[in-house]
């Protein structure tokens, strides 16, 4: 199951990419994140992060690993004993000084839960995705200097 949103922020591509490449930035832009800390690495591929998130009143711990860290693409995989998640961000300069962001989050809850998750979680995940776009846009416009 996944959620996906595409939106534009009026901030320079390089600044947006640099800011989002550090997964600790989820502390600012991800409404579900309680805390993210770097546990190993220098921010490149293979860097790991401890993430505590809250969703629907439940707190969960995930270990995220940076799988792709490129200027135009970022991919982080989160794992714990019950779920695997992938956060993919594709960034494109707009040509007018802004950045188009395609954000996709994939969730794998295991075979049994994957069967019922769309029925139970779809609305909640869609609402969280919409909130993420709003919060990420606001944070990027506050933290990334304009051109």
- The pLDDT value recorded for residue 114 is 53
Average of per-residue pLDDT values in the chain: 92
105-to-9, 32, 42, 86, 138 alpha-carbon distances in Å: 19, 12, 23, 6, 19
- The pLDDT value recorded for residue 124 is 84
How many domains does the chain divide into? 1
- The pLDDT value recorded for residue 79 is 96
Give CA–CA dist 106/2, Å, rounded: 4
- The pLDDT value recorded for residue 56 is 76
Q: What is the CATH number of the domain that holds 32?
A: 3.30.530.20
Q: Which domain holds residue 115?
A: 2-143
pLDDT digits over 76-135, tens only?
Answer: 999 999 889 999 999 999 999 999 999 999 988 776 555 566 566 778 888 889 999 999
pLDDT digits over 23-70, tens only?
Answer: 999 999 999 999 999 999 999 999 999 999 998 788 999 999 999 999
pLDDT level of residue 10 (50, 70, 90 thresholds): very high
pLDDT of residue 1 exceeding 90, the answer is no
Instruction: Give the DSSP letter of residue 145.
Output: P
- The pLDDT value recorded for residue 123 is 81
Phi, psi of 30 (to 5 degrees): -100, 110
């Amino acid at each position: 199951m996944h959620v996906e949103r595409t939106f534009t922020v009026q901030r320079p591509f390089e600044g947006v990419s640099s800011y989002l490449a550090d997964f600790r930035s989820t502390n600012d832009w991800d409404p579900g994140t309680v805390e993210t800390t770097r546990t190993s690495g220098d921010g490149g591929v293979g860097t790991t992060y401890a993430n505590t998130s809250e969703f629907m009143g439940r707190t969960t711990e995930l270990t995220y690993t940076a799988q792709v860290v490129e200027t135009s693409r970022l991919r982080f995989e989160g794992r714990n004993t019950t779920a695997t998640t992938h956060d993919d961000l594709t960034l494109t300069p707009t040509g007018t000084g802004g950045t188009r962001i395609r954000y996709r989050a994939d969730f794998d809850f295991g075979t049994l839960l994957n069967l019922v998750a769309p029925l139970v979680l779809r609305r909640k995940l869609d609402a969280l995705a919409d909130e993420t776009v709003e919060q990420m846009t606001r944070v990027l416009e506050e933290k990334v200097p304009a051109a």
